[in-house]
Amino acid sequence: MRLAAISIDLDEIHHYYAIHGLTGRGRATDLVYDRAVPRASDWAQALGVPLTFFVVGSDLSRPENVETLRALASQGHELANHTLSHHYDLTHRAPRELEREVAGGIDALLRATGQRPTGFRAPGYLLSDELVGVLGALGVGYDSSVFSSPAYYAAKAAKLMSMRLRGKSSRSVRGSAKALLAPTRPYRLGTPYWKAGRGLPELPIQVTPGTRLPYIGTSLVLSGPDGARLLTRTLMLEPFVNLELHGLDFLGADDELDDLLPHQPDARLGRAHKLAALSAAVELLRKMGFAFIRLDEAARTVS
């Protein structure tokens, strides 16, 4: 039986402002929790798939968000740790801060739901051996951050370079090109983390075999339903598919994303078009024989 998992990173809108060097928070402060999450949960229910949500701990200081997450947990979805504050430059920070960020994310979820999360995803897909050490020390069950896509890496480097040339600063960092040497299928983290070893189970973000194009929400919605099916067909021989989405994938051009429009091509798309692309991918994966499970269940199958 081949397995697939869908996860959604709940990066709230202000994180996108930070990436693009925009000041202020705009009008769209809580759109991910207030609009994207209910839509994602309806979407998953209609397709009959479980989801794994990666939660930024600091967002749980808003009581409405806590209620939203409790509802997701009661529907059988997994809640996992996306750090306390979602610092894009986390891997550049001091060891004590790494610990504070990972432990803070765990504690926030534990307080909100009474359950300790087992999964972790780093902001911006960036790991380091120090951060992996902290995950191990804090008893994290699995990681899902490795993203071995040269195309994604090149696009991010070009974007940061162009911002620098225009004198703008981004909160995002490029990360080491070494991560591109990491396995593209589930493995156990070694030393360095991009080599297979005996450590934590790692469930890498999906890339297409050979070409290693990103197989994530952004690329699916930008490709549209037909393009999403083409990308999905390339996964025919994969034993496991790890589809990573963002809350933003469930917001559309009618959702007051005005400030982001010049920077974020996927913010210009209509919501129905985006959902159609995501559904096309999931329906085809199922037709190809994939069964959908949560990431914590997938991690248990990594030997």
For the beta carbon of residue 87, count every other beta carbon within 10 angstroms: 20
Nearer CB in complex with Zn ion: 11/238 = 11
Minimum CB distance to Zn ion smaller for 90 or for 235: 90
Whole-number minimum distance, CB 122 to Zn ion, in Å? 8
Q: Which of residues 261-300 bind Zn ion (CB under 5 A)?
A: none
Stretch that binds Zn ion, among 10-18, 162-170, 177-185, 234-242 (CB under 5 A): 10-18
Q: Is 9 in the site for Zn ion (CB under 5 A)?
A: yes
Beta strands, E only, the chain = 2-9, 51-55, 78-81, 119-120, 142-143, 187-189, 196-202, 240-246, 290-292
200: left (phi over 0), alpha (psi -120 to 50) or beta: beta
Distance in Å, CB of 45 to Zn ion, minimum? 24
| Residue 284: CB minimum distance to Zn ion, A | 26
For every residue of 140-187, DSSP letters joined together read: --EE------HHHHHHHHHHHHHHHHTT---S-----GGGGGS-SS-E
Q: Pick between residue 280 and residue 295 the one whose CB is nearest to Zn ion.
A: 295
State which residue, 134 or 285, has the beta carbon closest to Zn ion: 134
Closest CB to Zn ion among residues 109, 280: 109
C-beta of 15: minimal distance to Zn ion in Å? Answer: 6
Residues 220-239 that bind Zn ion (CB under 5 A): none
Q: Cβ-closest residue to Zn ion?
A: 11
The piece of 11-19, 63-71, 166-174, 263-271 that touches Zn ion (CB under 5 A) is 11-19
Q: Of 4 and 245, which has the nearer Cβ to Zn ion?
A: 245
Tokens of 139: 């008893």
CA distances from 222 to 5, 23, 41, 183, 280 (A): 21, 26, 21, 26, 13
> Alpha-carbon distance 86 to 17, whole Å?
13
Question: Is 11 or 143 the residue whose CB approaches Zn ion more closely?
Answer: 11
Least CB distance to Zn ion at residue 84 (A)? 12
**Is the four-CA dihedral 299, 143, 11, 84 of positive or negative sign?**
positive
Taking the complex as a whole, the smallest distance from the CB of residue 202 to Zn ion amounts, in Å, to: 17
* Closest distance of CB 125 from Zn ion, Å: 8
Q: In whole angstroms, how close is the CB of 247 to Zn ion at the nearest point?
A: 9
Exposure class string for 176-196: b at 16+ Cβ within 10 A, else e: eeebbebebbbbbbbebbbee
User: How many other C-beta atoms lie within 10 A of the C-beta of residue 270?
Assistant: 11
The site string for Zn ion over 110-149 (x = CB under 5 A, - otherwise) reads -------------x--------------------------
CA pair distance 171, 189, nearest whole angstrom:
27
Site for Zn ion (CB under 5 A): how many residues? 3
Report d(CA 34, CA 41) in Å as an integer: 12
Give Cβ neighbours of residue 1 (< 8 Å, ≥ 6 apart): 289, 291
Residue type, 121: R
Nearest CB to Zn ion, comparing residues 83 and 232: 83
**Chain contacts with Zn ion (rule: CB under 5 A):** 9, 11, 123
